[in-house]
Structure 1
């Protein structure tokens, strides 16, 4: 009983414990990164795989761009041949799963030697991620400097280590999405541009138009649409129509192989669709269950963005919902939870935490460290379950916030709210 009450109240989550656990997580990640770098030859790790595995598909696809053959990025045989020619004959295949606009980034990266490109990619996108979280915290504190502990927590989030290990774009996704929501009220057009830049991850944009329309964010929606069209036009002008034809031709095979058959491994994926397939459910049932959850999340998102809900809560709802609704969410995409957690922590410090919320936030924070291993060996999709629980808590908080905002305030309460003690 005592343990249950402690977890419900979250009193165990003291500042000193948070600091010590964050130091331990950050230290583990740093040591692991140093070991991998020290045992590599600059291009491959000690197992003979490309250093930062998934980044190899960015760089090799970029080589095709520089050669004037960008459509070959969507040709699995050609891409695989180039990867093995570059990194060695035992190199596993790392497929290109992005729309043609991301080839512009890949082409720029391929102008540099692989280790230099990897280091620059992680440094720049990592810095953008840190700046986006700082923007969230500063907006919540009305421009004041956030608690000094924030930077340690931002770097200790285990999804950071996962993203570095894959050389993936999790930092950039979190930076664009979180940064856009942090400045939405102050700079709506720039927020729209940032959201439009997320077009390279279209699966995470499914809820964005719904939220913007429900919230009457017309300037942001227009800026996002213009950005997407501009990027598509620029890609067409620079790379020609062939990559667009190639992505359309490959889309059916990608859906079947990656989504329906789980070629990457179900234990690496998140969402209700992956959960259903992971436990042996047929494709039709997976689509049906995923659709029901997506519909419920969409309704909740539209309501929250239209109702008198605090900005931090509706932003966290959109981030967690985008992750859950996406048909294909990898473990490095858990980076989207970093800005969601930042919004929830700042809102909780100002307005109070719900029962169990602090303990749940702590669990969600550490979850990326072990979710893949638990799913692979215990067959329990911890990541999906944790995000579902987080989403339920956010929706309840949104409902409570809307009820408080709609409730009439008595003269006594109004005077109390104006008093220095209440502030």
Structure 2
């Protein structure tokens, strides 16, 4: 009887996630590829990843920091009637990842990009479960609300999820492989720094030496292929501009943020107090992440604390970045680990609705996501709960 109740709850959560995910996609009118979606019914921000390498390789890299010219190029390329408000803010060595896709026409490129990231999510799930889970489990992860948010926005949370999983699992045993994955994470440098700080504080610092070395190699290769000027523009112009969106609180530019700082500032809290709140959350996140690493992050619950901690440590993280946590988060929500906190389930369910919630002045994900980290951290590090139904129950429900 207990097993049947658990299965019904899991099925209800899966159904709720499916409804929310489908609704969030349909609300963006995917049939109109000249509106919010651009060129395809998914992958809005992939426009940046596809266009930036093409401009740089054509000798027009300066356009990436000339926002009016960049917007006009996007409008002309995709036949848009208005400025889509996009900009490219990633370090130049990330273009080593984007360039192969930019060589294809846009529609095949975005479809292949999406499939690649979903495959990475599936592989990360298999590694986390140390085997071949039921297909239903992989489907649940790849169609989870955080994964749908990633697909809608066209980001590379799947690759980052795989790199994070390998880096955390292999840091004690294979520092070279973990260091290579840390170099991949450096394409999102603030997240790489957060994971690196946790690993360092947990005494798993050897992989960081390799990570820095591999990252430097990627930077040198990118400078050789794209020119040193792209790095100069990134450091001198792009980084300060991106930072100003957060410190100056340009809510429109960071409206999908899921951090305590954003929730506080959006709710009218004064900047000094909002930074103090974010500082407390960051300190708790770091402590929970380090404790989880020392305990051994081979289980979904432990890895979830590490990844969520690395995300909410930062003052700005978008909702689509939760795809990095999608394998561990989905497994925990569906019962692979005992005792998913209600706030964790709520954060998982509502992830794709971040933009819609802000339309209604409800920055609740900035409360739910840090709350999920704190709740799961205390559950993980507190007294062990009674054993819950494990993989057989989860497979049956999925």
2:266 to 254, 272, 278: 278
Q: Does 2:280 align with 1:292?
A: yes
8 A Cα contact 1:133 1:179, kept in partner:
no
Q: Does 2:350 align with 1:367?
A: yes
What is the CA–CA distance in structure 2 between the aligned matches of 1:208 and 1:373, rounded to whole Å?
A: 30
What is the CA–CA distance in structure 2 between the aligned matches of 1:373 and 1:12, rounded to whole Å?
A: 35
8 A Cα contact 2:128 2:298, kept in partner:
no
Q: Which residue number in structure 2 is paired with residue 125 of structure 1?
A: 117
8 A Cα contact 2:93 2:222, kept in partner:
yes
Deviation sequence 1:157-215 (CA, Å, 0-9, x none): 11222222212222222222234334445543212211220111112123222222233
Deviation sequence 1:262-318 (CA, Å, 0-9, x none): 253554112122112211233333333222322332234334434x45643442222
Worse overlay, 29-38 or 185-194: 29-38
Deviation sequence 1:123-166 (CA, Å, 0-9, x none): 1121111111121112xxxx4x3345312321231122222221
Secondary structure of the structure 2 residue equivalent to 1:101: helix
- Give unmatched runs, 5+ long, in structure 2: 385-398
Query: Are the structure 2 counterparts of residues 128 and 322 from structure 1 closer, same or farther at C-alpha, using a change threshold of 3 Å?
Result: same
Query: Are the structure 2 counterparts of residues 99 and 55 from structure 1 closer, same or farther at C-alpha, using a change threshold of 3 Å?
Result: same
2:150 to 163, 166, 174: 163
8 A Cα contact 1:192 1:222, kept in partner:
yes
8 A Cα contact 1:136 1:343, kept in partner:
no
Q: Which residue number in structure 1 is paired with residue 318 of structure 2?
A: 330
Q: Which residue number in structure 1 is paired with residue 221 of structure 2?
A: 234
Q: Which residue number in structure 1 is paired with residue 189 of structure 2?
A: 202
Q: Which residue number in structure 2 is paired with residue 416 of structure 1?
A: none
Query: Are the structure 2 counterparts of residues 20 and 290 from structure 1 closer, same or farther at C-alpha, using a change threshold of 3 Å?
Result: closer
Higher gyration radius (CA): 1
- Give unmatched runs, 5+ long, in structure 1: 1-9, 403-423
8 A Cα contact 2:157 2:323, kept in partner:
yes
Query: Are the structure 2 counterparts of residues 343 and 204 from structure 1 closer, same or farther at C-alpha, using a change threshold of 3 Å?
Result: farther
Aligned length: 379
How far residue 372 of structure 1 moved from its aligned partner, in angstroms, is 3.5
Q: Which residue number in structure 2 is paired with residue 320 of structure 1?
A: 308
8 A Cα contact 1:260 1:283, kept in partner:
no
Q: Which residue number in structure 2 is paired with residue 80 of structure 1?
A: 71
Query: Are the structure 2 counterparts of residues 283 and 197 from structure 1 closer, same or farther at C-alpha, using a change threshold of 3 Å?
Result: same
Deviation sequence 1:54-99 (CA, Å, 0-9, x none): 1112222122122033343233233222112212342412011111
8 A Cα contact 1:310 1:398, kept in partner:
no
What is the CA–CA distance in structure 2 between the aligned matches of 1:392 and 1:48, rounded to whole Å?
A: 35
Worse overlay, 310-319 or 242-251: 310-319
Q: Does 2:177 align with 1:190?
A: yes
What is the CA–CA distance in structure 1 between the aligned matches of 2:136 and 2:76, rounded to whole Å?
A: 45
1:55 to 40, 46, 59: 46
8 A Cα contact 1:54 1:94, kept in partner:
yes
What is the CA–CA distance in structure 2 between the aligned matches of 1:373 and 1:256, rounded to whole Å?
A: 24
| TM-score where L is the length of structure 1 | 0.78
What is the CA–CA distance in structure 2 between the aligned matches of 1:146 and 1:108, rounded to whole Å?
A: 31
Using CA pairs below 8 Å that are at least 6 residues apart, which structure has the higher relative contact order?
2
8 A Cα contact 2:158 2:323, kept in partner:
yes
How far residue 38 of structure 1 moved from its aligned partner, in angstroms, is 7.7
Over aligned residues, Cα RMSD in angstroms? 3.2
8 A Cα contact 1:60 1:82, kept in partner:
no
Secondary structure of the structure 1 residue equivalent to 2:348: helix
What is the CA–CA distance in structure 2 between the aligned matches of 1:384 and 1:310, rounded to whole Å?
A: 25
Query: Are the structure 2 counterparts of residues 154 and 309 from structure 1 closer, same or farther at C-alpha, using a change threshold of 3 Å?
Result: closer
Query: Are the structure 2 counterparts of residues 372 and 337 from structure 1 closer, same or farther at C-alpha, using a change threshold of 3 Å?
Result: farther
Q: Which residue number in structure 1 is paired with residue 392 of structure 2?
A: none
Q: Does 2:47 align with 1:65?
A: no
Query: Are the structure 2 counterparts of residues 363 and 11 from structure 1 closer, same or farther at C-alpha, using a change threshold of 3 Å?
Result: farther
